[in-house]
A and B are shown apart, each in its own frame.
Chain A
Amino acid sequence: MAVVTLQVNDTTVAVPAGVPLLQALAAAGVALPTLCHHPRLSPVAACRLCLVELEGASRPLPACVTAAAEGQRLRTDTPALQAGRRLIVELLFAEGNHPCAVCVANGDCELQDAARHVGMDLVSVPYRHPSRQVDASHPLFLLDHHRCILCSRCVRVCDEIEGAHVWAMANRGSATRLIAGLDQPWGTVDSCTSCGKCVAVCPTGALVAREDVPLGRWPTP
């Protein structure tokens, strides 16, 4: 495969032509938070946390879906990008309900990592405090909608790798939410194979294994 050379924040790196720019960032030792991206799943470029500035481009581009090409010069750390990235993380925290102190994923959460990365010390937008549910109908796993950031990793892993097609996004705008089957309790969806792949790829504590939850907190169905 042809190799291209490009510049990431003044570091020159070489990567195969056409790979996502994220790979060039990795080669340059630059880490950006990536919440919707997963290396084994199709890209959706939904979270916009990986936006970079490409010289000559009229707008910032998501590194997870932009192809590497010869001679590109990109920046990942301009004040505009930093401010935008931080605002996105703040909006994610304000959109759902994220009491980290009582979350199974506390300390092992990609949303927390993103907050740490952007140096979030307070959320400058008003919290929505939405009214959401917990789905405890599955014998092995739990879905806590409060902590779901709608990244759709679970939807894609179930569609593309397990082939069970359990998940989808329903509604639109601020009412968007994750559904199982025909918007039914997860435990009643026949096609679920209980493989746990959705739990494995969930960046937050929205999808968790019962065995990881302190004993007795949730009744078993």
Chain B
Amino acid sequence: MAPETPFPQPPGRLIEVLHQRQQQHGHLSRTTLAMVAQELRLPPAHVYGVASFYHLFRLTPPTPHRCGICFGTACLLRGAAALAAAQAQRLGVRLDDPAGDGLWSLETVSCLGACGLAPVLVMDGVPRRAEAP
């Protein structure tokens, strides 16, 4: 029979460690990912695969300022898509382009659990109610 697991388990700490490193460095560079792979004795390809799968992990350095628009159900119902379009125009950046204009970037985020404030806009980590245009 074929083997059950591709490499020695459990690699359960990987996501936790990636979160830690991202908090320290602001993003996960190739060098960081290579170090994590070595520390946890995991294949680099596997580490990269996991890091690139989750939206919360950034593989490129973030812009100094970031604006997030919640695309959760409540926010979408209350005009999040129009808000995102208006905000993209205002900042002169493309939605979900991590490079932004070098100073600002605009990204969609999933439900923040602050549905009472819908539509929610996140400025540098602080969620607040926005006016749908």
Binding site for B on A (CB under 8 A): 40-43, 156, 159-160, 165-172, 179-183, 189, 191
Which residue in B2, B43, B48, B49 is a CB contact (below 8 Å) of A191? B43
Which residues in B have their C-beta under 8 angstroms from that of A159?
6-7, 43
Query: Smallest Cβ distance from A217 to chain B, in angstroms?
Result: 27
Complex: chain A residue closest to B47, CB-CB: A182
What are 8 A-B contacts defined by CB distance under 8 Å?
A165-B6, A166-B43, A168-B43, A169-B49, A171-B53, A179-B45, A182-B33, A183-B48
Q: How far is B110's CA from A214's CA once the two chains are assembled, in angstroms? A: 49
Q: A165-B45, A182-B33 are in contact. Are A42 and B52 (CB under 8 A)?
A: no
Query: Smallest Cβ distance from A38 to chain B, in angstroms?
Result: 8
Which residues in B have their C-beta under 8 angstroms from that of A182?
30, 33-34, 37, 44-45, 47-48
Which residue in A40, A168, A183 is a CB contact (below 8 Å) of B46? A168
Which residue in A40, A41, A168, A171 is a CB contact (below 8 Å) of B45? A168
CB pair A171–B52 under 8 Å, yes or no, is: yes
Complex: chain A residue closest to B29, CB-CB: A182
Binding site for A on B (CB under 8 A): 2-4, 6-7, 30, 33-34, 37, 43-49, 52-53
CB pair B45–A42 under 8 Å, yes or no, is: no
Q: How far is B2's CA from A40's CA once the two chains are assembled, in angstroms? A: 6
Q: How far is B4's CA from A40's CA once the two chains are assembled, in angstroms? A: 12
Q: How far is B6's CA from A183's CA once the two chains are assembled, in angstroms? A: 19
Complex: chain B residue closest to A183, CB-CB: B48
Residue among A171, A183, A191 having the largest count of chain B Cβ atoms under 10 Å: A183
Query: Smallest Cβ distance from A186 to chain B, in angstroms?
Result: 11
Which residue in A40, A156, A170, A189 is a CB contact (below 8 Å) of B49? A170
Which residues in A have their C-beta under 8 angstroms from that of B46?
165, 168
Complex: chain A residue closest to B3, CB-CB: A160
Complex: chain B residue closest to A38, CB-CB: B2
Q: How far is B2's CA from A41's CA once the two chains are assembled, in angstroms? A: 5
Which residues in A have their C-beta under 8 angstroms from that of B3?
42, 160
Which residues in B have their C-beta under 8 angstroms from that of A167?
45
Complex: chain B residue closest to A170, CB-CB: B52
Which residues in B have their C-beta under 8 angstroms from that of A168?
43, 45-46, 48-49
Complex: chain A residue closest to B48, CB-CB: A182
Which residues in A have their C-beta under 8 angstroms from that of B52?
170-172, 183
Query: Smallest Cβ distance from A178 to chain B, in angstroms?
Result: 9
Q: A159-B7, A182-B33 are in contact. Are A170 and B48 (CB under 8 A)?
A: yes
Residue among B33, B37, B46 having the largest count of chain A Cβ atoms under 10 Å: B46
